[in-house]
Structure 1
Amino acid sequence: MGSKYSLTWDLDVFFPGGSESPEFQRYLEQLEVDVKTFSAKVEQTDVQNTNDLDSWHEIVETVQDLSRRLGEASAFISCLTAQDVKDEGAKILRGRLSQVGAAFSAGMNQLDHLIKQTDQENWNRLLRDSRLQPLAFPLEERRRRALEKLPADQESLAGDLSVDGYHAWGDLYNAIVGRITIPFEEDGKTEQLSVGQAANKLSSPDRQVRQTVFRRMNEAWEHESELLASSLNHLGGFRLNLYRHRGWDSVLKEPLDINRMSEQTLTTMWEVISQNKGKFLQFFERKASLLGVSKLSWYDVYAPIGSDNSTVSYDQAADFILEHFRQFDPNMADFARRAFAERWIEAEDRPGKRPGGFCTNFAQSGQSRIFMTFAGSASNVATLAHELGHAYHQHVMNDLPQMVQRYAMNVAETASTFAESIVADASIKNAASREQKITLLEDKAQRAVAFFMDIHARFLFETRFYEERRKGLVSAARLRELIVEAEKEAFCDALDEYHPYFWASKLHFYITGVPFYNFPYTFGYLFSAGIYNRALQEGPAFAQKYVDLLRDTGRMTVEDLAHKHLGVDLTKPEFWQGAVDLAKADVDQFLELTEGD
């Protein structure tokens, strides 16, 4: 008997023929032409004539149209490269699209220059125009950011130099990691593992395996530590220099601005987390005793406990998700049913796919596609719910202007984590055995540990690294000290052994697109938990409020979003405390179930 739901997605509905699609070739060619036309038009626009509201409206409409079409092309190529890592045609298309994207960015830089040159009186008049008023938030944000940067020619120069400077140091990191191999002995023969393969061994139930891999990985990181320290120092140095020229004092200015949040909100969030870590130390103690050790080491924190190996079919997972989405909001369930029925999801377990999972949005078609590999585990069910949450977030925004659909990383996880929470709680409630319930609760508690402690350590390290980098280069030996100090503080000195090369092993420190690629995760997790807490209190009546909140994620600061839709002040501890209490309740349940084990 076949599956009720297909495990493979339908991409032909967009462009038939995959990477060889003639239709997609024509689409890209037209996009190239239109981007060039746009860039030329903006360059020729005289700032003196930009008081003409019709011209502004036309430019903004073009920007939104091109953004939608670039998004469509990008989503299609992402899907092609994910479903078959050997698709050479897709790789060529990606290279071509990145050139189109660069040309569009150049045009947008010119537009920023026009926005910057417009005097305040005319700017206010422009924002009052009924056609542009719905876009006031992103347009104001663009103007403010343009005014805070260097003159356009200097920003362009910095951008050009960053290709072989700043971004090159990020590329060097990837090249170093790509060549690292870690020897590992299994079944009497030694294998050379990649960093990714070795990292997977850290979740082995065998402590000897975890410990051996951890030691070997650290030897590999130590061997490359001088080069990796050089990469990290130059990335930090480039940022600090650029910030200095722009007149920016704080290294947090850019990441906070990207995430549309205030430093006060960030400080309050970390303070509440720090005050509530005691409960998670109890979790560590219990986990240590279940693993048969006196104290957890770094490589034990995410080790599996319990022996629940039960699996579910894809159809069962889909039906379970639909049933529990429906209990919260029938509209959310109907949307998910459409995603299953119209083959929006690629879940087949087969070779040749890239690892991981994602949800991508086809901006012009108003559809999403979800990528994952489903093997029947509880975490696969959670991932499926998570990605459907992302797709639902996009779905409720599809009728809005393109410019106000752009939400930041910290609120991007709101709907996904919310959807996952609905399904995770239902799974715990419906667990077939005590063992299964313990495994599911431990998984939830571990997620909280990742956000409250692991990511806190990254944030503390990165903040202190920048403080020292201002004074000069930071040696590999000092980086080891800084990371262990941060880990000890974030984990309340509860571990037996720490990770002195975490600064070298974590890609997030070397990502050039976004600095401080850490705190938005914790914010997103807790913000979503706080919203979920409200949903538990208010029941189905909350469903419409939830949709209204999601629709506003691209057009206001997080403080305004929380105040408007939840009536809370994110700079005060109460909201955060309520969210943390949910995670503590999971730990309490875990402690209760494992009492005496």
Structure 2
Amino acid sequence: MTVRPVFDANATNGSKDLGNLPEWDLTDLYSAPDAPEIKRDLDWLEQACASFAADYEGKLATLDAAGFLDCVLRNEKIDTTAGRLMSYAGLRYYQLTTDAERAKFLSDLQEKVVNYSTPLVFFTLELNRLDDGHLDTLFAENDDLARYKPVFDRIRSMKPFQLSDELEKFLHDLGVVGDAWERLFDETIASLEFEIEGDALNIESTLNLLTEQDRSKREAASRELARVFSENIKIFARVHNTQAKEKEILDRWRGMPTPQTGRHLSNHVEPEVVEALRNAVVAAYPRLSHRYYELKRKWLGLDVMQVWDRNAPLPMEETRTVGWDDARDTVMNAYAGFDPRMAEIAQPFFDKGWIDAGVNPGKAPGAFAHPTVTDVHPYVMLNYLGKPRDVMTLAHELGHGVHQVLAAGQGEMLSSTPLTLAETASVFGEMLTFRRMLDNAKTDQERKILLAGKVEDMINTVVRQIAFYDFECKLHEARRSGELTPDDINALWMSVQAESLGEGFEFMEGYETFWAYIPHFVHSPFYVYAYAFGDGLVNALYAVYEENPDGFQEKYFDMLKAGGSKHHKELLEPFGLDASDPAFWDKGLSMIEGFIDELEAMEG
């Protein structure tokens, strides 16, 4: 394929319309890839890992409470240093994934960190051989050590699936091979080139066209996505086959009962809770997505919807570009309206180079908030194109950032939040921003456009992600019986798409390949249900806030500050909520239904 420059989407849309988009300043991590501090930290890490193993391997059972606390604190410092190094290398790489030097820097650093940390594999293995009673005694003797009990509980949940020390070290070393497949996926996606009306666009800019008012542009983008995905489908099928097979081998050796078990354990959530969520959403497809898309079909004046109409703006919706300053003010005012402290925590993201917002050639697509390490601060990545939905993405990722700042007080080992709860603050940030915009709507038409946009976002977050989850379940199950051809994977994809979108859609030739670009399938198998979990949780939380706002903010901040130190049952108890109750999910889904009811009433 001829290599041509991939145009920044802003070059055609006019970046002047967006204002001054911020870029990351990574110097809070390291000043440069050749900074002496990187060598200093790598040297320290190598020595610290070796001395940790020398001091503690084979001796955990002999430690008293004070000795065990010292051991944990040393382990935490090692985590922090390794995390700082990998955060810097990873963030630089995501800014320009097509740059060979950045890719090499990340890969070399990753190999060193893995090699240095291999001697630490004994820690979790030995910890899991300790008797429950022995640990309980140590916790009772030392409150500072007892604070880490939730970490030990999560580690010990893997106890039934633990292999021999030698095999665990082997698998630890082998981890870089699986990571290489992830990088192949990232680099392939970032280098894809799509030609629309003579312009060469990257994937982010092309996907952005699916929300254009002009239907012919949406169709052109969809067909071009299908063409390019089809041309590269063998690579994507190879990546998915390899990753799924690697997972199947690991799960089989560990004795994991299902491919999803590992994710549920790391999320600290019971399989039956996830199953209740999944079943509630699938049962609600007719009341949610099917009903909404039937409304949308009428608004668009179509006999049947095509896939390029799914995220189309409404006919009465003006195509408008939201400048960066307006986006920032909208989100910050919404945050401040909830609680001034929330805006204060968010402010440095804009002022200090903690956000990278522009769409640039070679930059990773999508958006994320990366917590880095607890003694630095999070960084947010966006691909900001000035769409109203991009404002919601800013509200979402900034919510993650606020959560990560608040949870940092727990320290490195306790700050990390399970994925199911990690989406709470982000989706809540979106809800605050949406509600503020809805309250400020000046006409019924403006209100209708806002409500429809929110319903679509919720359907994308809940219905679409549960359909993704079902696709992954089918993919991993099918891979156990042998290699999957691209056609096999395509068929699995279509089986969940038709069910979730409803009969109002026709699927163009080529849409069956659209599984290929979803990064979560490769980077974090079964991650996707966390979005639906987070949306349902936030809808229930917001209902509590509306019913009884007094004192809600304090309880909300306490929940975010807890990080990963509490189980979801403990975190939700102060709000009178329980995610293990099947009715809990219906409460969250009923909010989406209520919005659709209002939209239907507007038609009358």
Which of 320, 328, 340 in structure 1 is aligned with 2:338? 328
Instruction: Return the offset for 1:265.
Output: 0.8
Q: Over aligned residues, Cα RMSD in angstroms?
A: 3.3
Question: 1:339 & 1:428 partners in 2: Cα distance?
Answer: 25
Question: 2:381 & 2:174 partners in 1: Cα distance?
Answer: 35
Which of 479, 487, 493 in structure 1 is aligned with 2:497? 487
Question: 1:301 & 1:592 partners in 2: Cα distance?
Answer: 22
Q: Give the aligned residue type for 1:265.
A: V
Which of 32, 36, 39 in structure 2 is aligned with 1:29? 39
Q: State the match for 2:3 in structure 1.
A: none
Deviations 1:196-254 (A, max 9, x none): 44433333333233334433433443444455434323322222222111122211111
Secondary structure at 2:506's aligned position in 1? coil
Q: Give the aligned residue type for 1:579.
A: G
Which of 301, 313, 321 in structure 2 is aligned with 1:304? 313
Instruction: Return the offset for 1:551.
Output: 2.6
Q: State the match for 1:110 in structure 2.
A: 122
Alignment of 1:591 onto 2:600: yes
Q: TM-score, normalised by structure 2?
A: 0.85
Please say which of residues 499-508 and 285-294 is displaced more in the overlay: 499-508
Question: 2:94 & 2:483 partners in 1: Cα distance?
Answer: 39
Would you say how many aligned residue pairs link Structure 1 and Structure 2?
Answer: 579
Q: TM-score, normalised by structure 1?
A: 0.86
Q: Evaluate the alpha carbon distance shift between residue 575 and residue 287 of structure 1 in structure 2; reply closer, same or farther with a 3 A threshold.
A: same
Instruction: Return the offset for 1:385.
Output: 2.5
Q: State the match for 1:288 in structure 2.
A: 297
Q: State the match for 2:541 in structure 1.
A: 531
Q: State the match for 2:226 in structure 1.
A: 218
**Counterpart contact for 1:11–1:76, Cα < 8 Å:** no
Instruction: Return the offset for 1:415.
Output: 0.6
Question: 1:469 & 1:384 partners in 2: Cα distance?
Answer: 37
Q: Summarize the alignment of residues 368-407 of structure 1 with structure 2, pairs less than 5 Å apart.
A: 368-372=378-382, 377-407=387-417
Instruction: Return the offset for 1:284.
Output: 0.7
Alignment of 1:470 onto 2:480: yes
Q: Summarize the alignment of residues 409-558 of structure 1 with structure 2, pairs less than 5 Å apart.
A: 409-497=419-507, 499-511=511-523, 514-558=524-568
Question: 1:122 & 1:101 partners in 2: Cα distance?
Answer: 32
Alignment of 1:125 onto 2:147: no
Q: Summarize the alignment of residues 135-154 of structure 1 with structure 2, pairs less than 5 Å apart.
A: 135-154=148-167
Instruction: Return the offset for 1:395.
Output: 2.6
Secondary structure at 1:47's aligned position in 2? coil
Please say which of residues 150-159 and 262-271 is displaced more in the overlay: 150-159
Question: 1:74 & 1:371 partners in 2: Cα distance?
Answer: 16
Q: Which runs of 5+ in 2 are unaligned?
A: 1-18
Q: Which runs of 5+ in 1 are unaligned?
A: none
Which of 144, 156, 169 in structure 1 is aligned with 2:169? 156
Q: State the match for 1:250 in structure 2.
A: 258
Secondary structure at 1:575's aligned position in 2? helix
Q: Evaluate the alpha carbon distance shift between residue 347 and residue 434 of structure 1 in structure 2; reply closer, same or farther with a 3 A threshold.
A: farther
Q: Evaluate the alpha carbon distance shift between residue 88 and residue 432 of structure 1 in structure 2; reply closer, same or farther with a 3 A threshold.
A: farther
Instruction: Return the offset for 1:256.
Output: 0.9
Q: Give the aligned residue type for 1:157.
A: F
Q: State the match for 1:581 in structure 2.
A: 590
Question: 1:318 & 1:78 partners in 2: Cα distance?
Answer: 26
Q: Evaluate the alpha carbon distance shift between residue 225 and residue 6 of structure 1 in structure 2; reply closer, same or farther with a 3 A threshold.
A: closer
Q: State the match for 1:270 in structure 2.
A: 278
Deviations 1:483-512 (A, max 9, x none): 22222222243422263223334333233x
Question: 2:357 & 2:219 partners in 1: Cα distance?
Answer: 33
Question: 2:320 & 2:223 partners in 1: Cα distance?
Answer: 32
Q: Give the aligned residue type for 1:149.
A: Q
Secondary structure at 1:441's aligned position in 2? helix
Instruction: Return the offset for 1:367.
Output: 3.4
**Counterpart contact for 1:6–1:340, Cα < 8 Å:** no
Q: Evaluate the alpha carbon distance shift between residue 270 and residue 218 of structure 1 in structure 2; reply closer, same or farther with a 3 A threshold.
A: same
Q: Evaluate the alpha carbon distance shift between residue 147 and residue 248 of structure 1 in structure 2; reply closer, same or farther with a 3 A threshold.
A: closer
Q: Evaluate the alpha carbon distance shift between residue 269 and residue 247 of structure 1 in structure 2; reply closer, same or farther with a 3 A threshold.
A: same
Q: State the match for 1:207 in structure 2.
A: 215
Q: Give the aligned residue type for 1:283.
A: Y
Which of 544, 567, 587 in structure 1 is aligned with 2:576? 567
Question: 2:92 & 2:191 partners in 1: Cα distance?
Answer: 26
Secondary structure at 1:132's aligned position in 2? helix
Q: Give the aligned residue type for 1:111.
A: F
Secondary structure at 1:396's aligned position in 2? helix
Deviations 1:152-196 (A, max 9, x none): 2112223444544x4455455456556655454x1xx4x555544
Instruction: Return the offset for 1:264.
Output: 1.1
**Counterpart contact for 1:347–1:371, Cα < 8 Å:** yes
Question: 1:84 & 1:471 partners in 2: Cα distance?
Answer: 38
Question: 1:81 & 1:179 partners in 2: Cα distance?
Answer: 14
**Counterpart contact for 2:462–2:535, Cα < 8 Å:** no
